[in-house]
A = this chain, B = another copy of it.
């Protein structure tokens, strides 16, 4: 597929345009992950929120928003859904009555463990064509690009 001739001078053919490849791959990866999570009655935000809670303990919604990148307006629904299913509890913070403290329940922790496995296997499906060192390299590249882009 890759024509060694088309290095730099002539405009990149559509097929090899990094930005395009990036969004194509991201789109399909997103679908893969979303469908996988849907089969476990979850969405990617559920996972993000639960992981954030596990990593740094109970937090206010605004705090969670900052950690996960989910907008605090959208977080409301996420917490609602997690609470409905009994995975988190939302309680007013006595120390600051503007806040809600969100806490993972034991059931939530169990659910999260299940999702961890699911996500890991989905990552594996996603990255199937790459060797382990290549996967690490890709992650490194993406990490650097993200760093760079979010500082603009």
Contact = CB atoms under 8 A, between A and B. Distances in A.
Interface residues of A, number: 70
A138 to B, nearest CB: 5
Residue among A44, A122, A140, A143 having the largest count of chain B Cβ atoms under 10 Å = A143
B130 A8 contact: no
Contact of A72 (B6, B69, B140): B6
Tell me whether chain A's interface is mostly helix, strand or loop, or mixed.
helix
Chain multiplicity (copies): 2
Contacts of A134: 141
Interface string A99-128: 000000000000000001001101100111
Contacts of A149: 25, 28-29, 32, 126
Interface of A: 1-2, 5-6, 8-30, 32-33, 44, 48, 51-52, 55, 62, 65-69, 71-72, 116, 119-120, 122-123, 126-130, 134-135, 137-152
A32 B14 CA distance: 17
